[in-house]
């Protein structure tokens, strides 16, 4: 909102809205005026070979490939035109000649309006104005430094491809195209951000995805009205179904293999220029607990790990709460020997179990946050040192009991073992809710909290797909790839809950 008020106050650009004219100099002046003649705006007038015509190249030096402009555009215009016999007689002919023969560039387009020209130039393309013609030629000369392709840090696998998305959209599209050579793979382009005009792509495989799903996501993407879209998180939060839910309804990943797998299932992906994070949807509860590695490893191990992850998810939410409930409300539910030893370790701890638990959980979250913020080499050590030292010292000082430290550590480990980071975040959030419930009503509170989560999740949808499929609306077929991962030979069909048009997985 703040930005938008700024936007209206900006000088000139509001009222200065020139048209393309046939006068070359006038066009160039207009462009200069619109951009306030920045330093990196290059306007180069070139006589066209040995003809009487002249033309001008407009580009921004920082965004374009200078070598390409020099060698494939300027050189060609100067040299090839000289060699061409007969020389063009009219401007139209010249334009056609340049477009078809002179420029040895693949990406060529005729601009229709000044807006197109501006967008092209600001995106790193070059506009070629020809004396006397209103419509310039847009030449694709984008070229800037991009990051090298690296393995995504947040989603490392032991087995699996080592490449990841980067900030450059074209490279990211290339990643997907390289993996899916299906002619039905579609990339629907969008521009988002009033100011940033970022490129965005909606990717899906036509004939696999449910057609209404594309319509729906298209509708939602059209509604996006933002000033600036620095990250796909903006898109996610704009198009998600429920913003009040602690659960994410759209997945994000840096891994091309995850995206291609999603596309092949009948999901769609949204790629945004400027961020390596690609969104995939519709998601359900189960798909957040899936790691691509489940499929790369043999099915038995994949299944085992998945079961473990569900267990971890439960731990991540309920373990500290159970600790509180069992210790403060229902020590009868702990086996006797364990109860005695817990009571012994708690002896001398001044705080009730719930304060102890909140204290330690808060410390843990703090450590986590600090570990992320600190420079990488320090970050790791702070995690270990902080965890060990604070834990040990807290026990020594008698502030917490050793078993609490164990519970906290186990909870943290559990929440780290959830593959989707955004999903793990929501569990971290829910953990505190569960702890409050346990503090107030013990076991009764925990069960009610569990029921509340279930109700909420049952009501939740991601792009019209119930969040709890295949358990919610029951699809036996999809249970093959739910808690357990069936052998690949048995996964011959795409998940039913996405209602793909093409069911068979060939």
Q: Which residues bind another protein (CB under 8 A)?
A: 210, 212-213, 215-216, 244, 322, 326-347, 349, 352-353, 433, 436-437, 439-445, 447-448, 450-452, 454-456, 458-459, 461, 464-466, 468, 471-474, 497, 499
- Smallest distance, Å, CB 392 to another protein? 19
- Smallest distance, Å, CB 440 to another protein? 6
- Name the residue among 304, 349, 326 with its Cα closest to residue 407: 326
Structure tokens at 128: 């070629």
Comparison of 23 and 502: residue with beta carbon closer to another protein: 502
Sign of the four-CA dihedral 82, 86, 91, 92: negative
Comparison of 113 and 458: residue with beta carbon closer to another protein: 458
CA distance 360 to 391: 9
| SS3 at position 481 | strand
Comparison of 346 and 428: residue with beta carbon closer to another protein: 346
- Smallest distance, Å, CB 264 to another protein? 19
Structure tokens at 488: 């690949």
Comparison of 428 and 461: residue with beta carbon closer to another protein: 461
Comparison of 335 and 377: residue with beta carbon closer to another protein: 335
- Smallest distance, Å, CB 348 to another protein? 8
Comparison of 333 and 389: residue with beta carbon closer to another protein: 333
DSSP symbols for 350-408 = -S-HHHHHHHHHHHHHHHHHHHHHS-HHHHHHHHHHIIIIIHHHHHHTTSS-HHHHHHH
Comparison of 350 and 375: residue with beta carbon closer to another protein: 350
- Smallest distance, Å, CB 285 to another protein? 10
CA distance 439 to 352: 10
- Smallest distance, Å, CB 246 to another protein? 11
- Smallest distance, Å, CB 313 to another protein? 14
- Cα dist. 231→165, 270, 370 in Å? 13, 12, 23
- Return all residues near 139 (Cβ < 8 A) that are at least 6 apart: 73, 103, 105, 107, 108, 125, 126, 127, 128
Q: Residue 200, Cβ neighbours under 10 Å: how many?
A: 22
CA distance 303 to 309: 10
CA distance 35 to 33: 5
């Amino acid at each position: 909102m703040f930005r938008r008020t700024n936007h209206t106050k900006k000088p000139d650009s509001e009222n200065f809205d020139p048209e393309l004219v046939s006068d070359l100099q006038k066009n160039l002046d207009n462009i200069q005026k619109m951009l306030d003649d920045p330093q990196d705006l290059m306007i180069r007038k070139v006589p066209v070979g040995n003809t009487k015509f002249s033309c001008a190249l407009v580009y921004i030096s920082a965004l374009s490939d200078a070598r390409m402009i020099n060698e494939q555009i300027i050189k060609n215009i100067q040299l090839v035109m000289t060699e061409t016999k007969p020389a063009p007689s009219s401007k139209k002919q010249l334009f056609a000649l340049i477009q078809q023969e002179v420029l040895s560039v693949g990406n060529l387009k005729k601009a229709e309006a000044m807006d197109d020209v501006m967008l092209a130039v600001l995106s790193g393309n070059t506009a070629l104005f020809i004396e006397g013609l209103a419509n310039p030629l847009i030449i694709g000369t984008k070229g800037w430094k991009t990051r090298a392709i690296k393995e995504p840090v947040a989603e490392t696998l032991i087995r699996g491809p080592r490449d990841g998305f980067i900030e450059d959209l074209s490279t990211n599209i290339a990643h997907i195209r390289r993996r899916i050579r299906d002619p039905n793979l579609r990339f629907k382009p969008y521009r988002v951000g009033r100011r940033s005009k970022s490129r965005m792509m909606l990717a899906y495989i036509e004939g696999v995805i449910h057609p209404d799903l594309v319509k729906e996501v298209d509708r939602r993407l059209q509604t996006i009205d933002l000033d600036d879209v620095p990250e796909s998180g903006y898109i996610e939060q704009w198009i998600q179904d429920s913003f009040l839910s602690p659960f994410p309804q759209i997945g994000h990943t840096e891994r091309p293999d995850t995206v291609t797998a999603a596309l092949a299932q009948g999901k769609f992906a949204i790629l945004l220029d400027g961020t390596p994070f690609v969104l995939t949807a519709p998601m359900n509860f189960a798909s957040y607990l899936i790691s691509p590695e489940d499929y790369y490893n043999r099915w038995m191990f994949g299944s085992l790990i998945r079961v473990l992850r569900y267990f971890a998810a439960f731990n991540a939410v309920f373990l500290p709460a159970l600790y509180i409930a069992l210790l403060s409300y229902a020590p009868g539910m702990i086996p006797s020997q364990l109860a005695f030893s817990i009571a012994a370790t708690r002896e001398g701890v001044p705080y009730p179990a719930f304060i102890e638990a909140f204290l330690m959980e808060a410390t843990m979250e703090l450590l986590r946050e600090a570990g992320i913020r600190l420079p990488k080499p320090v970050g790791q050590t702070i995690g270990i040192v902080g965890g060990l030292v604070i834990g040990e010292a807290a026990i020594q000082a008698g502030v917490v009991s050793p078993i609490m430290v164990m519970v906290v550590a186990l909870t943290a480990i559990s929440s780290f073992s959830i593959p989707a980071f955004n999903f793990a975040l929501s569990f971290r959030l829910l953990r505190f809710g569960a702890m409050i419930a346990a503090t107030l009503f013990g076991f009764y509170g925990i069960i009610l909290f569990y029921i509340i989560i279930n109700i909420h999740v049952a009501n939740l949808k991601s792009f019209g797909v119930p969040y709890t499929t295949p358990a919610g609306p029951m699809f036996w077929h999809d249970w093959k790839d739910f808690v357990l991962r069936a052998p690949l030979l048995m996964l011959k069909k795409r998940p039913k809950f996405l209602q793909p048009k093409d069911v068979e997985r060939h």
